[in-house]
Amino acid sequence: MSARGFRAWAPIVLWAAVIFAFSSLPSGAQDLAWWELLLRKLAHVTEYAILAALLCRALRRVAPAVVLAGLYAVTDEVHQTFVDGRLGTPRDVAIDLVGVLVGIVAWRRLSHELR
């Protein structure tokens, strides 16, 4: 892999590992307060916004970035079904996809402003 390719993909691999690590944490709290639940869902959005922006940076194209981030969201939810106290839900994939869209909009705006 070239140095340019490494610089493009290393942050993606590292960020995917961060998401995986967070998803590996067991959850003992099943009855969360509404604000705790909101914070967790906002964390989903933020995690996937960052992932999507990094993918757009590396690929320079939106469609493959959406597909890869969406596939990672699905695999992350499947992974969570094997973690004590965690559930993998289609609702969380949808929330992750909202984050993907936020990340793409942010990347497009930032990349346009930097030109």
- pLDDT of res. 113: 76
CB-facing half-sphere around the CA of 26: CA atoms within 13 A: 3
**Between residues 71 and 31, the one the model is more confident about:** 71
The domain segmentation of the chain, as residue ranges, is: 3-21+32-113
The 10s digit of each residue's pLDDT in 17-50 is 999 999 998 876 666 787 888 888 999 999 999 9
One-letter amino acid for residue 109 of the chain: R
CA dihedral 94, 97, 99, 104 (to 10 degrees): -160
Block residue for tokens 């079904």: 81
- Phi and psi at 13, nearest 5°, equal -60, -45
What is the rounded average pLDDT for all residues in the chain? 92
Evaluate if residue 59 carries a pLDDT over 90. Answer: yes
Overall pTM surpassing 0.95 (yes/no): no
- pLDDT of res. 31: 67
